Amino acid sequence: MTKKDSNKPILVPVDFSAHSETALVCAAELAEKLDSDLVILHVVHDLNDAPGYYSVKGRDKQLRRMEDVAAEMLEEFFHTMQKKYSGLAALKHATTMLVVGLPVNRILESAKKTHASMIVMGSQGRTGLARAMLGSKAEQVVRLAPLPVMIVKDKDKGKGKDEKKPAS
């Protein structure tokens, strides 16, 4: 990355999963080293422009627009990450962005709109038939993006919470 790119933000698409958390932490560390800003993006998947609704837990059969609930979830995720990783200055100054549409398209459009220097995203690491049938959003972004893309895998993927670490 050149000196002139250092003020361009790093775009981090998130879906609130552990994979997203790992990617966000990696991107924040990278942003600090490169003196870059951080833009945290969530894409509300739009199914053929049909308005979608979420049923909200704890409220008697209340339905809310997906965008409204997603905006709250993004803010909650962002604040949780800021508290959990309070030592990462890049998270303190990060901005959030919520868009509606097809995830791959919106990630690429958001990267262009924000003049991102790169995209950092998590991957679930699907293999075999699931990947062949569905394709990976991360893989599609890598193939289509005109800028660098870093795919980060969750280091604890596949480990059970109760698994014991080998004694050293």
Amino acid identity of residue 137, one-letter, is K
Asked whether residue 153 is assigned to any structural domain, the reply reads yes
Burial class (CB in 10 A: 0-12, 13-18, 19+), 57: exposed
Tokens standing for 23?
A: 């990617």
Structure confidence by residue, pLDDT tens digits, 156-166: 654 444 433 44
Q: Tell me what pLDDT residue 123 has.
A: 83
| Number of structural domains the chain divides into | 1
What is the DSSP secondary structure assignment for residue 23, as one 8-state letter?
A: H
Instruction: State whether residue 162 is helix, strand or coil.
Output: coil
Residue 134 forms part of a structural domain: yes
- Which pLDDT does position 118 carry in this prediction? 98
- pLDDT tens by residue, 59-109: 555 556 788 889 999 999 999 999 999 999 999 999 999 999 999 999 999
Residue 35 near residue 6 (C-beta atoms within 8 A): yes
In a domain, residue 139? The reply is: yes
